[in-house]
A = this chain, B = another copy of it.
Amino acid sequence: MPVTIKDVAKYAGVSIATVSRVQNGIGQVSPETQKRVLAAIRQLNYIPNRVGQALQGQRHAALGIVFPDFSGPYYSGVMLGFENQAVTAGYSVVVLATHRRPESTQLIVDLAGRVDGLVMMDRTVSNDTVTDIARCGIPIVLLARSAITGMPCVRCENRQAAEELVGHLNGEHGYRKFAFLGNPDLSFDVMERWQGIQSAIQQFHLPDPDLIRCEYRQADGRQAAHDLLASGQLPECLLCANDEVAFGVYQAMREAGKRIPQDVAVTGWDDVLTADLVDPPLTSVRQPTQQLGDVAAHTLLTMIEQTVKPLSSTILPSRVVFRHSCGCIGKGCEFRTEALRP
């Protein structure tokens, strides 16, 4: 049904080679035939078939990116940066979210067959699968994921930020008993945050922190906080795996009549735009999400277009943003040097 170069050639009364020459501006064509061909193209509304071009040119002109999920501003940021770089470089973007689907492996293999390079995010599929696909010769960049030998990896700094966070909470506010809300098994970043927190707590000789396993949506944080309240073992400070979990804790605390930070301090991670607007403003850790996608795309493009693989991994800096939910007060979020509670 669609118009092919053959149709145009017949309509213009020339060979397909000539049409191709006009179309791509390569080779010599007489002005007269050029005119005829151009007219035929316009007349028939001819659009070159990308599949034919891809087959001939031995490239898809497309990049793939595999997300574990789409929800939340974190993925939007990565997507934004990635798409921008890819399109600017002349590549289309094919996305896939695994959602822990059992058939994820097959879907990713399928995806690998239609792109020139692949970004694999976090816990989307096993390392073995990634290695298998890489062995087929397709360039792969890991994003916010544990390293695999021979593949570049792009991620945000987590441990240092976690240590700074705990250092502040103990040093400035005097908190000693912490709990972490999240599931280190589900995400590489969260695992690193949990490890950083544990390491800092050991370093300061504080009592072992509790790990409250929960997923990353607001409802999960809310449920976890309610469970914690029901157990009667509310620590001084709740460190949340991300801001959505922290917002869920906010909900639960409001429902239970507990005040933040007077009754319990709360921190998030991601520093979403609304972190500054909730009551109280949320102390969080800002990550350069857009840059994450940006650098991942750039690294991938380098691997595709250069014959030498750089293999350079990138770790982008995170920054702790102190607000009121940890106990800091005032407009400039000055630290309270005395402990908040008597």
Residues of A within 8 A of B (CB): 1-3, 45-52, 54-55, 60, 62, 70-73, 75-76, 79-80, 83-84, 87, 92-97, 99, 101, 107, 109-114, 132-133, 135-138, 218, 244, 247, 250-251, 272-274, 276-279
| Contact indicator B93/A137 (Cβ below 8 Å) | no
In-complex Cβ contact of A92 among B54, B72, B99, B110 (8 A): B110
| Contact indicator A135/B279 (Cβ below 8 Å) | no
- For A78, the closest partner residue in chain B by CB is B70
| Contact indicator A45/B278 (Cβ below 8 Å) | no
Q: Please report the C-alpha to C-alpha distance between residue A49 and residue B277 in the assembled complex, in whole angstroms.
A: 49
| Contact indicator A50/B113 (Cβ below 8 Å) | yes
Q: What copy number does this chain have within its complex?
A: 2
Q: Please report the C-alpha to C-alpha distance between residue A29 and residue B2 in the assembled complex, in whole angstroms.
A: 36
In-complex Cβ contact of A112 among B47, B52, B99 (8 A): B47
| Contact indicator A76/B70 (Cβ below 8 Å) | yes
In-complex Cβ contact of A72 among B76, B101, B111, B138 (8 A): B76
- For A1, the closest partner residue in chain B by CB is B137
Known contacts A45-B136, A51-B114, A132-B45; A93/B92 CB under 8 A: no
Q: Please report the C-alpha to C-alpha distance between residue A277 and residue B253 in the assembled complex, in whole angstroms.
A: 11
- For A218, the closest partner residue in chain B by CB is B273
> A277: shortest Cβ distance to chain B, in Å?
5
Known contacts A45-B132, A92-B96, A138-B2; A110/B50 CB under 8 A: yes
| Contact indicator A279/B276 (Cβ below 8 Å) | no
